[in-house]
Structure 1
């Protein structure tokens, strides 16, 4: 686990309206984050959005690039993404996760000013007083991102899990 206690800080784009109403990340029923976390082995079972605090017991945290809720991410301005990226960097410096995992390549490109970023590990890192955080860009689990299936997303999330040194929690049993 990283110096700050989190292996991976998952970072969504911004809260949707359902998330804003419930206070739970990725709360919209069509969002595939929760099933993908389980399919990838990051969680031992499919969690419900209301169980998001359980992520901490697996070394996972969850946040957003932009705090303002919207019905769709395309309602956000480029400046909101850039400001959110600046705030996120400061959060990462304080929390010092091993990995920052941004879900959504377009959000990452805009927030971090990296027009050529692709899904997967990035060369960029974030240095803070507790250590260095590496960055991984994951596919957006929104149901609107139809060219990624839950299974293909889970494969990419599993690559991150392996890079972070986390066990496959679908089969892992403590000794």
Structure 2
């Protein structure tokens, strides 16, 4: 049986990045976004969230910057499209309880599937969402997986940078 990838989470984070589910390599390695083709750490750094590019083996250091990592569904797969609707349905209450307990300011869903399943909406747009989720502001960002060929590196950075600007701008501006 595959190991469960541990959340990197703490109280009152600025933003928790929520992947759809762990990739097989990440689950086996025990580190988020450890697949060689995954662009998460590079994008996170280049968008301004971290002062340097974190290596997957040091993923826990993301907490030092006020950010965390979780997944919508615990089961690891090669591809996120291997998950069933039931797996999303069965994970929503656990996810909500986690968000209510830890109270992040922002939840950034990486890819649309989890937020579509959790919100009950048929379609969502990229970026800021009009409603909060468990008291947190919601953003939907493109998934940084190397399997997501619809977004080049610069496109990913631009989307993530929008969130970075939103969370770092002074209130009232």
The answer on whether the counterparts of 1:93 and 1:126 sit within 8 Å (CA) in structure 2 is no
Question: Residue 151 and residue 83 in structure 1: after superposition, are their counterparts in 2 closer, same or farther (change >3 A)?
Answer: same
> Tell me, what secondary structure is at the counterpart of 2:97?
helix
* Residue 101 (structure 2) pairs with residue 94 (structure 1): yes
Question: Residue 20 and residue 143 in structure 1: after superposition, are their counterparts in 2 closer, same or farther (change >3 A)?
Answer: same
* Residue 87 (structure 2) pairs with residue 84 (structure 1): no
Match of 2:149 among 143, 146, 149: 146
Matched residue, 1:165: 168
C-alpha distance in structure 1 between counterparts of 2:55 and 2:120, whole Å: 33
What is the 5 A alignment of 1:37-116?
Answer: 37-116=44-123
Per the normalisation by structure 2, the TM-score is: 0.87
Higher relative strand content: 1
C-alpha distance in structure 2 between counterparts of 1:124 and 1:83, whole Å: 22
C-alpha distance in structure 2 between counterparts of 1:99 and 1:40, whole Å: 16
C-alpha distance in structure 2 between counterparts of 1:66 and 1:75, whole Å: 11
Deviations 1:40-94 (A, max 9, x none): 0111111111111111111100000000111111111011112223321111111
> Tell me, what secondary structure is at the counterpart of 1:123?
coil
Question: Residue 166 and residue 21 in structure 1: after superposition, are their counterparts in 2 closer, same or farther (change >3 A)?
Answer: farther
Deviations 1:88-128 (A, max 9, x none): 1111111111100000012321233211211111122134x
The answer on whether the counterparts of 1:7 and 1:59 sit within 8 Å (CA) in structure 2 is yes
**Higher RCO (Cα < 8 Å, 6 or more apart):** 1
Per the normalisation by structure 1, the TM-score is: 0.86
Question: Aligned residues, how many?
Answer: 161
Matched residue, 1:173: none
Runs of 4+ in 1 over 6 A off after TM superposition: none
The answer on whether the counterparts of 1:31 and 1:142 sit within 8 Å (CA) in structure 2 is yes
Unaligned 5+ segments in structure 1 are: 168-175
* Residue 37 (structure 2) pairs with residue 34 (structure 1): no
Matched residue, 1:25: 32
